[in-house]
């Protein structure tokens, strides 16, 4: 999906917020991915020992 | 030949330091109002006295240091490091007046720990301090994470030329936008947006866990501040173990890792460059080193049979390691459990995670993922150079917002700062061992202080030697400002004493 060009003149302009929200969701997804990987490690470690 | 600073140099440094202290006075109004709401009149008086002292200093310097001269680069560095010291001395007043600190040194330790987003504390009977005091502790760490100077930049500085030099001196040297004041505002926008989301998520979680609405909100706000600023302060002495809830831990993990991201990365991802999070040298480095340290600790703990099932193992291992690596300092185990349950391998894995730390230009401390990435790339480049034909041109690049080619100057600067961190970690460990602490525990605690993490294995306490308290205060300060501006302040003092007219 093509993202809209950021308008830096008005940081809190309403039209920027969908873009900001997408950024927050991307960051959260990345962090939850690392969390899921750690859970997988714990499952494997418990299976091994 | 060293030149002694002229009167004009002192005036410009005094003037800008005073502005930062006025910012601290304004910040104290929030805990004062909190105490008014909860009718904590002793605490109201403590903050009224402290605000008065800050305003006397701040406006006193504005009157005494009248000058039209703007800041030079060296002035900016001196103001950045010097204002943190003055802010610590004056900011410790409410702590000391509260009666919860053993001495003024302990109060200064806690305030420096707050500003530097470390999270170690010497305050006694934490579970019974006032709401106003708890608000102040968490505001300290939130303001420190933002950068005291960023706050002053946003509200108090006119013009941008001098302001940028102080901003760089505080270790935040990236411009998100062309204008430095707009950059400061963009940093605020990111932080305040996460503040709303994080506080609401944690408050709802607290409500679902059975907390009263006001308590759920305040705990949500404070734990958010501790997580986002990677500070690690929490309103209860059991830290986040107090909540005993997976939901609370997951929200805290998301906020503290997000808080450890470079503000430039936030801004890139927020403004449409979504793939940056998978390409950036800092996030790649962080994902690899976090996963490796979690892997080591998880398998060591599983082998030792410390936790009964995979879920408990995951919750304990990942939470402590994510907290250590982001330099937050939240914990869901007792301090001594690092020694009695985790053993040497767990202790070393956590120490390494804390030593590396997270991203530059964020609220986090430690060596930083960017430097680890650059050193790794430089190492690989050298190996390629050795195995390539003699005339081959070997170049290497890394990605941080844009592709950046490695050059010798960048690698040298990176190595200098990294060696300075390692030397400070080593010094803290040796001094701890000198005072009779087990070397591994002294190293853990020393790295925790110098990397601004705040995890403790029990060394930090009001009964620890004063020399170690002073050393940790200095380490937190040096680690947070990444040495250069502190070295500039040292140079400034040397030129006053030994310079030529």
Nearest to B208 by CA among B233, B261, B244: B244
Note whether B426 and B498 are same-domain residues.
no
Domain interval for residue A24: 8-48
pLDDT at B394: 87
More confident residue, B496 or B427: B427
pLDDT at B39: 97
Q: Give the tens place of pLDDT for each residue, B279-290.
A: 999 999 999 999
d(CA B322, CA B487): 31
Q: How confident is the model at residue B67 (pLDDT cuts 50, 70, 90)?
A: confident
Note whether B410 and B454 are same-domain residues.
yes
**Average pLDDT over every residue of B46-56:** 97
d(CA B205, CA B261): 24
Interface of A to B at Cβ within 8 Å reads 3-6, 8, 11-12, 19-20, 22-24, 26-28, 30-32, 34-35, 37-39, 41-43, 45-46, 48-49
Note whether B422 and B374 are same-domain residues.
yes
Q: Is residue A30, in this structure, part of any structural domain at all?
A: yes
**Average pLDDT over every residue of B151-162:** 55
Number of structural domains, chain B?
2
Asked whether residue B456 carries a pLDDT value surpassing 60, the answer given is: yes
Supply the DSSP string of B382-435, one letter for each residue. HHHHHHS-TT-----EEEESEEEE--HHHHHHHHHHHHHHHHHHHHHHHHHHHT
Share of chain B above pLDDT 70, in %: 93
Q: Is residue A21, in this structure, part of any structural domain at all?
A: yes
Minimal Cβ distance to B270: which of A23, A30, A31: A23
Which chain A residue shows the shortest CA-CA distance from B289? A34
pLDDT at A6: 52
pLDDT at B139: 94
Q: Is residue B469, in this structure, part of any structural domain at all?
A: no
Rounded to 10 degrees, the C-alpha dihedral B302/B250/B353/B460 comes to -100
pLDDT at B450: 97
Domain interval for residue B201: 174-464
Asked whether residue B164 carries a pLDDT value surpassing 60, the answer given is: no
Q: Is residue A2, in this structure, part of any structural domain at all?
A: no
Mean of all residue pLDDT scores within chain B: 90
Asked whether residue B16 carries a pLDDT value surpassing 90, the answer given is: no
Q: Is residue A3, in this structure, part of any structural domain at all?
A: no
CB contact residues (below 8 A), chain B span 310-329, against chain A: 310-311, 313-314, 317-318, 321-322
pLDDT at B156: 56
Share of chain B above pLDDT 90, in %: 72
Residues of B in contact with A43 (CB under 8 A): 310, 314
Q: Give the Cβ contact number of residue B125 at 10 Å.
A: 9
The answer to whether B492 and B10 are in contact (CB under 8 A) is no
Q: Give the tens place of pLDDT for each residue, B377-400.
A: 999 999 998 998 888 888 889 999
Q: Is residue B294, in this structure, part of any structural domain at all?
A: yes
d(CA B173, CA B103): 36
Q: How confident is the model at residue B136 (pLDDT cuts 50, 70, 90)?
A: very high
d(CA B91, CA B473): 14
Note whether B336 and B415 are same-domain residues.
yes
**B278 in contact with A at a CB cutoff of 8 Å?**
yes
Note whether B454 and B483 are same-domain residues.
no
Rounded to the nearest angstrom, the minimum Cα separation between A5 and chain B is 8
Note whether B419 and B356 are same-domain residues.
yes
The answer to whether B450 and B479 are in contact (CB under 8 A) is yes
Local structure of residue B6 (DSSP, 8 states): P
Q: Is the pTM of this model over 0.90?
A: yes
More confident residue, B201 or B152: B201
Number of structural domains, chain A?
1
Mean of all residue pLDDT scores within chain A: 87
Q: Give the tens place of pLDDT for each residue, B69-104.
A: 777 777 877 888 888 899 999 999 999 999 999 999
Asked whether residue B125 carries a pLDDT value surpassing 70, the answer given is: yes
Q: How confident is the model at residue B443 (pLDDT cuts 50, 70, 90)?
A: very high
Q: How confident is the model at residue B158 (pLDDT cuts 50, 70, 90)?
A: low
Q: What is the CA radius of gyration of chain B?
A: 22
pLDDT at B490: 83
The answer to whether B388 and B350 are in contact (CB under 8 A) is no
Asked whether residue B475 carries a pLDDT value surpassing 90, the answer given is: yes
Q: Is residue B470, in this structure, part of any structural domain at all?
A: no
**Average pLDDT over every residue of B26-42:** 97
pLDDT at B77: 79
Listed in order, strand segments (DSSP E) in B120-202 are none
Asked whether residue B273 carries a pLDDT value surpassing 80, the answer given is: yes
**Which range (B74-83, B289-298, B311-320, B414-423) has the least confidence?**
B74-83
pLDDT at A1: 45
């Amino acid at each position: 999906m093509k993202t809209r060009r950021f308008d830096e003149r008005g940081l809190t302009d309403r039209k920027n917020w969908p873009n900001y929200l997408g950024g927050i969701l991307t960051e959260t997804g990345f962090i939850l991915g690392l969390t899921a990987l750690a859970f997988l490690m714990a499952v494997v470690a418990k299976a091994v020992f | 030949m060293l030149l002694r600073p002229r009167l004009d140099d002192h005036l410009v440094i005094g003037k800008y330091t005073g502005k930062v202290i006025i910012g601290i006075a304004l910040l104290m109004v929030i805990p004062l109002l909190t105490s008014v709401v909860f009718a904590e009149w002793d605490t109201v008086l403590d903050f009224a006295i402290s605000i008065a002292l800050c305003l006397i200093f701040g406006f006193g310097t504005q009157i005494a240091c009248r000058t039209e001269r703007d800041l030079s680069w060296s002035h900016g560095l001196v103001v950045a490091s010097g204002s943190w010291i003055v802010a610590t001395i004056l900011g410790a007043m409410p702590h000391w007046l509260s009666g919860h600190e053993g001495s003024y040194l302990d109060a200064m330790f806690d305030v420096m720990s707050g500003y530097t987003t470390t999270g170690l504390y010497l305050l006694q009977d934490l579970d019974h301090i006032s709401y106003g005091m708890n608000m102040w502790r968490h505001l300290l760490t939130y303001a420190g994470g933002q950068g005291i100077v960023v706050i002053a930049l946003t509200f108090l500085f006119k013009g941008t030329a001098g302001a940028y030099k102080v901003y760089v001196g505080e270790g935040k040297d990236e411009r998100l936008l062309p204008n430095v004041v707009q950059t400061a505002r963009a940093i605020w926008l990111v932080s305040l947006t996460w503040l709303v989301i994080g506080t609401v998520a944690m408050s709802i979680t607290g409500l679902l866990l059975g907390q009263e609405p006001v308590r759920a909100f305040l705990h949500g706000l404070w734990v958010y501040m501790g997580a986002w600023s990677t500070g690690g302060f929490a309103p209860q002495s059991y830290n986040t173990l107090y909540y005993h809830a997976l939901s609370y831990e997951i929200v805290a993990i998301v906020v503290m890792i997000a808080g450890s991201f470079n503000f430039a990365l936030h801004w890139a991802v927020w403004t449409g460059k979504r793939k940056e999070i998978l390409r950036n040298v800092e996030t790649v480095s962080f994902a690899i080193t976090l996963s490796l340290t979690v892997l080591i600790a998880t398998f060591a703990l599983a082998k030792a049979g410390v936790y009964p099932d995979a879920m408990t193992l995951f919750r304990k291992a990942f939470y402590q390691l994510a907290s250590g690596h982001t330099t937050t300092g939240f914990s869901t185990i007792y301090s001594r459990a690092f020694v009695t349950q985790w053993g040497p391998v767990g202790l070393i894995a956590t120490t390494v995670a804390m030593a590396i730390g997270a991203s530059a230009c964020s609220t986090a401390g430690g060596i930083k993922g960017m430097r680890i990435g650059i050193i790794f790339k430089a190492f690989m480049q050298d190996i390629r150079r050795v195995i390539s034909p003699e005339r081959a041109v070997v170049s290497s690049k890394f990605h941080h917002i844009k592709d950046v080619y490695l050059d010798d100057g960048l690698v040298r600067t990176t190595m200098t700062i990294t060696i300075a961190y390692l030397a400070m970690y080593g010094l803290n460990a040796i001094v701890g061992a000198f005072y009779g602490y087990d070397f591994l525990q002294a190293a853990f605690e020393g790295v925790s202080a110098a990397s601004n993490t705040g995890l403790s294995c029990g060394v930090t306490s009001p009964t620890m030697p004063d020399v170690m308290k002073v050393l940790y205060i200095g380490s937190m300060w040096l680690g947070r400002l990444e040495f250069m501006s502190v070295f500039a302040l040292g140079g400034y003092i040397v030129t006053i004493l030994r310079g030529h007219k």
